[in-house]
Amino acid sequence: AGDELIGNTFRLITHPDDLTRDLERRQRMLDGELDRCRVEKRLLHKDGYWVWVELNAVVVRDALGAPLYFIAQFQDITERRRAEAALRESEARYERIAANVPGIVYQFVYLPDGSQHFTFVSEGARTLCGVAPEAILRDPSALFGLIHPEDRAGMHSSGQAAVTELRPWRWEGRLVLSTGEQRWVQAASRNARQPDGSVLADGLIMDITAPRTLEEQLRQSQKMEAVGQLAGGVAHDFNNILTAIAGFAEFLQDEFAPGDPRREDVGEILKGAHRAASLTAQLLAFSRKQVLRSEVLDLNQVVAQMTTMLRPLLGSSLHLVTLPAPRAVPVLADRTQLEQVIMNLAVNARDAMQGGGTLTIEIGISPAESGAPQRATLVVSDTGVGMSPEVVARVFEPFFTTKPPGQGSGLGLATVDGIVQQSGGTISVESRPGEGTSFTITLPVAPSQRPRPTTGELAVIRDVKEGEGSQPAGTVLIAEDEEAVRAIAQRLLVRAGYRVLTARHGADALRVLSEADATVDVLLSDVVMPEMGGVELAARAVEMIPGLPVVLMSGYTDKDLGPINEEGMVAGFISKPFTSETLLGTVKAAVRSGYIAS
């Protein structure tokens, strides 16, 4: 009650934290600096707790201006202060959440007069797109101007449609930052009409560059796998066709005497077949379906032996630098394929340095990490024109090339990638326009000595030419589903003095083996055949005839052509299209030696 305050001073009921300020203000009013004041302060309730009040006070003076007394009005504002404190805490909590969300939290308003602007933008704008929130609040184009030109129309049209229909909005597109970096973002908002007719959009912009990149990599991987399957299948069929073309062309060529123009014409057919065979070899390398003749190689020696061939290839305007490792770098690889990798990278580097430059080939061994094997490294770098990020992203795609029409098939780097992957390695590229290009290849370090072939390895016979003297007698069973290839192989072997049995597929070959009236000395089988393929046929055949030498042939393979029984009776492998020398030499070696280790 009011009478309970009589006899008390404001000093006794004012909160200690507010007292100093009150005394200063009171003195200023007494000195005439202030006639009145309005202040919020805490007063002590009679029950012992503090309440917030709003104080409005004036000073009354006499005729001479001397202060006589104060007149004050108090209003309890405790509940209002509590509500304001709760609101401030809520706003602070909202700002903390908005600041910690990985993206941009925003509020955007569409006004009835057609104008629009941001009313809130979180600090995430600074992280995501490098623009201060204040700049976006002042001018929305600070954010909208970063949208990729190809994506702007779609963003605006979809956003406007969502506002008109008052439905949730979602959009994905690209931002191009001031640094030139490109980021994929996803924006989403909910739209609600306000009493004044405006539409308020509360939304979030998220950086989806990483998942988008992974998604693109997955699609690219699936596309490459599909193209690889197609390329392997085409190469298989095409190699059978080339085998027939080359084989019958050889027969025809033998019919003409040296100097006969017709012999030269047939020679051109053979040259075309060989060029086509090299193209299918590239397809097989890209699709990782070629058969590698692996051996332990020292990378230092391989590069050193290639320098005499690379120097004239590069020309006088280019400088070749080789940086070998301080010790041997053994890898298990196919020498021919590894040389092709280095050659392709060197040719690309030459083409990128038309005005001169330096090609550097560096060999090394990466330090062994905990639990991980050592990796050999082969780095091929040039000082050429470099590549843009868009080109780098597609550089290993088959048939992708930046060269003019007729100057590149687009299979070079796809072939390199396929060879490296099939050899158990990896390849990466770093390049920037005007700063050159660097390809880094890693391969598993191999033991210094290659073990005897075991499960999973194929003992491969090198091309063996016939020696002098007559061909040793023997019986060969040919299992081949392509009639033309079967006819060529049969004709070559019969002409060389062999007795030949033929079968159209694996099941047919087993029937011939069971009915044969003479010992079969060699099984010559295609790998890919209907009903029963060559690998299964070989396993069944050596069960019927223990020790039977088997020679496999194929235009490609995606199978493991390891030893087909415990004794490892694989005598050789012939790649299609084959020459007469390759076929006869391999069969001859198989007849003589049975199992032959490479």
Mind listing the pLDDT tens digit for each residue in 422-481?
888 899 999 989 899 999 999 988 875 544 443 333 333 333 334 444 444 589 999 999
Query: 554-594 pLDDT, tens per residue?
Result: 876 544 454 444 444 567 888 888 888 889 988 988 887 65
User: Residues 353-372: pLDDT tens digits?
Assistant: 988 899 999 999 887 665 56
pLDDT tens digits, one per residue of 127-162: 899 999 999 999 999 999 999 999 999 999 999 999
Instruction: Give the containing element (helix H, strand E) for 57.
Output: strand 50-61
Position 565 scores a pLDDT of 41
Q: Which residues contact 314 (CB under 8 A, 6 or more apart)?
A: 320, 346, 350, 359
Reduce the DSSP state of residue 324 to 3 states and report it. Answer: coil
pLDDT at 111: 93
Q: Give the burial class of 263: count Cβ atoms within 10 A of its Cβ; 0-12 exposed, 13-18 middle, 19 or more buried.
A: middle
In this prediction, residue 597 carries a pLDDT of 33
Contact criterion met (CB below 8 Å) for 442 and 366: yes
Can you give the pTM of this predicted structure?
0.45
Q: What percent of the chain has pLDDT over 70?
A: 81
pLDDT tens digits, 56-99: 989 888 888 888 888 888 888 988 888 888 877 877 776 766 66
Closest Cα to residue 497, out of 584, 576, 590? 584
Q: Which of 111-115, 186-190, 290-294, 435-439 has the lowest mean pLDDT?
A: 290-294
Contact call for residues 500 and 494 (beta carbons, < 8 A) = yes
Burial of 592 (0-12, 13-18, 19+ CB in 10 A): middle
Residues 6+ apart with CB under 8 A from 415: 282, 285, 286, 340, 344
How many whole angstroms separate alpha carbon 269 and alpha carbon 274? 9
pLDDT of the residue at 503: 92
H or E element: which one contains 554?
strand 550-554
Secondary structure of 242-268 in the HEC alphabet? Answer: HHHHHHHHHHHHHCCCCCCHHHHHHHH
pLDDT of residue 408: 52
What pLDDT is recorded for position 458? 33
Q: Output the CA–CA distances (angstroms, integers) from residue 34 to 17, 37, 63, in the order listed.
A: 22, 7, 17
Omega within 30 of 0 (cis) for the link into 312 = no
Secondary structure (3-state) at 395: coil
Degrees (nearest 5) of the Cα angle 376, 378, 381? 155
Q: Which of 396, 382, 377 has its CA nearest to residue 441?
A: 377
How is residue 167 written in tokens?
A: 């439905």
Report d(CA 17, CA 443) in Å as an integer: 74
User: How high is the mean pLDDT of the chain?
Assistant: 81
DSSP readout, 427-459?
A: EEEEE-TTS-EEEEEEEEBPPSSPPPP-TT---
Spatial strand order of the sheet with 550-554 comes to 499-503, 475-479, 522-526, 550-554, 570-575
Structure token pair of residue 539: 């396993």
The model's pLDDT over 268-281, given as tens digits with 9 standing for 90+, comes to 888 888 777 766 66
pLDDT given for residue 413 in this prediction = 83
Q: Residue 249 has what pLDDT?
A: 87
Output the pLDDT for position 250.
85
**Torsion angle, CA of 325/329/335/341, rounded to 10 degrees?**
-50
524 forms beta bridges with: 478, 551
pLDDT at 41 over 60: yes
Bridge partners (DSSP) of residue 477 are 501, 523
Q: Are 502 and 490 in contact (CB under 8 A)?
A: yes
pLDDT of residue 568: 46
Contact 232, 558 (CB under 8 A): yes
CB contact at 8 A, 274 and 575 = no
Tokens linked to 362: 């560096």
In Å, how far from its chain's centre is CA 569?
41
**Candidate from 367-371, 445-449, 501-505, 519-523 with smallest mean pLDDT:** 367-371
Q: What is the pLDDT of residue 18?
A: 86
Residue 134: per-residue pLDDT: 93
Mean pLDDT value of segment 513-520: 80
- Element spanning 274, H or E: helix 261-287
pLDDT, residue 546, reads 86
For residue 476, the model assigns a pLDDT of 92
Q: How far is CA 577 from CA 144, 485, 573, in A?
A: 59, 9, 12
- How high is the pLDDT of residue 246? 85
